[in-house]
Amino acid sequence: MDWQTQVRTYCDANDWVSAMKVLEQRIAQAPDDMDLKAWRARVLTWSGNLTLAEQEYLEILKKSPNDPDVWAGLANVYAREGKRDQALAALDRAVQLDPKRADLRIARARALREAGDQSASDAELKTAATLDPTVKVPGPIRAGRSKGVSELRLGNETDFLNYAGANQVSGASLATRWIPLLRTSLGFGAYQRGGVLAEKFTASATTLHWLGALTAGGAIGHDNGVIPKSEAFYDLDHGWKTGQATIFRGLELDYGQHWYWYQAARILTLNGAAIVYLPRDWSFSLTATGARSAFSGTGAEWRPSGTTRLTFPLPAGKISQLSGNIFFAAGAENFASADQIGRFASQTYGGGLRFRFAERHDVACSASYQRRTQNRTDTYLGLSYGIHF
């Protein structure tokens, strides 16, 4: 059995360690074989090691800058990392090097669709069909149903309290990127608090400019005294990419304010966050929140809280993506909803998983355990399903 057959067999079984072992042994014997290194880059991509795969492709391009397959492989990595502009630029180069390949045209059509340019995507598909009339166009590209890229998410969250009945919220949200500079989000939630049912509708819009991403929105609810009657919020987010040469690959800073108006209280939260992006798609974040509570007939007071979170990739298949996170939070609260009457301090431990098992589908789950003052606990479970179209 030759080495390519061995590697393909291991990859089909998702045995990435064995596949890499075969490749490393062959590369040790032929360190200048670009085909072997390209295979190593593919396996790294399929196994979810996107940062290493990107580095591998860039190293190959230093010696083979005119190989369209390498540019296409790099574009695939960029696309999975969410770097749409870089993915499109890499495919532009691949098509420039070999303009008569229908598969490269189709890949570029997909990238154009993801960038919101459906007309250019359709033109590229026509070119691909001209070059090879027998080529099969993937359904999501052929459909071309919208100029936006949307995500519909359905979910349920449950808080199991040791001192009262469980609280639940079920809802749906729709986020749409109409053009590269404008995104909108709509959401609905049904809340069950202490046997009382309440509903809330949320809407927001995000614009991109030189300051970063600015989001503004609000919410209105049929509160029944257990959720806010209305809300307003804004958020400003800005990021910097530092490159691949250091351990710190990027930094993102975020600041936001959120107002909650309950029947008997007014809440203002000030939120600040810093996210540090690390090699191999790891990231670390710190969030600090100050909450100002003002109840009818009493004075206002501030309460602090903070969260630290570590996010990391996990092994997955050729198409699927799997990531996890763990977090710790601590602070004090004085909100006026039914499950938070009065004030309390807490420590929360938790984590979550997100599994994208197809191009247009993913599932996410999370769990946490919160210890509050007065020997009270809150065990949280959340599950959601996302459809991308």
Under 8 Å between Cβ of 275 and 287: no
Q: Tell me, yes or no, whether 173 and 252 share the same domain.
A: yes
User: Of 89, 108, 140, which residue is a domain's last?
Assistant: 140
Q: Tell me, yes or no, whether 7 and 105 share the same domain.
A: yes
Q: Tell me, yes or no, whether 191 and 318 share the same domain.
A: yes
Q: How many domains does the chain divide into?
A: 2
Q: Tell me, yes or no, whether 61 and 88 share the same domain.
A: yes
- CATH number of the domain at 135, please: 1.25.40.10
**How large a percentage of the chain has pLDDT more than 70?**
90
Q: Tell me, yes or no, whether 162 and 114 share the same domain.
A: no
Mean pLDDT, range 98-127, rounded to an integer: 86
Q: Tell me, yes or no, whether 225 and 245 share the same domain.
A: yes
- CATH number of the domain at 206, please: 2.40.160.40
Give the torsion sign (CA, 103, 105, 108, 114).
negative
User: Of 92, 111, 140, which residue is a domain's last?
Assistant: 140
Q: Tell me, yes or no, whether 131 and 156 share the same domain.
A: no
Q: Give the tens place of pLDDT for each residue, 283-323.
A: 999 999 998 888 766 677 888 999 999 999 988 776 678 99
pLDDT at 137: 64
Q: Tell me, yes or no, whether 42 and 61 share the same domain.
A: yes
Q: Give the tens place of pLDDT for each residue, 183-229.
A: 999 999 999 988 899 999 999 999 987 788 999 999 999 999 889 99
Q: Does 24 have pLDDT greater than 60?
A: yes
3 state SS of 303: strand
Amino acid, res. 122: D
3 state SS of 51: helix
Mean pLDDT, range 365-371, rounded to an integer: 96
pLDDT at 138: 62
Q: Tell me, yes or no, whether 62 and 153 share the same domain.
A: no
Q: Tell me, yes or no, whether 100 and 12 share the same domain.
A: yes
Q: Does 178 have pLDDT greater than 90?
A: no
User: Of 140, 157, 172, which residue is a domain's last?
Assistant: 140
Mean pLDDT, range 345-349, rounded to an integer: 91
In this prediction the pTM is 0.67
Q: Which residues pair with 239 in a beta bridge?
A: 252
pLDDT at 336: 36
- The two counts, helices (H) then strands (E), for the chain are 9, 14
Q: Tell me, yes or no, whether 225 and 327 share the same domain.
A: yes
For the ranges 89-93, 165-169, 334-338, 341-345, the lowest mean pLDDT is seen at 334-338
Q: Does 139 have pLDDT greater than 70?
A: no
Q: Tell me, yes or no, whether 95 and 12 share the same domain.
A: yes
pLDDT at 367: 97
pLDDT at 95: 93
CB-CB neighbours of 162 under 10 Å: 10
Task: Tell me the residue range of the domain where 30 lies.
Answer: 3-140
pLDDT at 333: 66
Give the torsion sign (CA, 60, 61, 62, 67).
positive
Q: Does 256 have pLDDT greater than 80?
A: yes
Q: What is the mean pLDDT of the chain?
A: 87
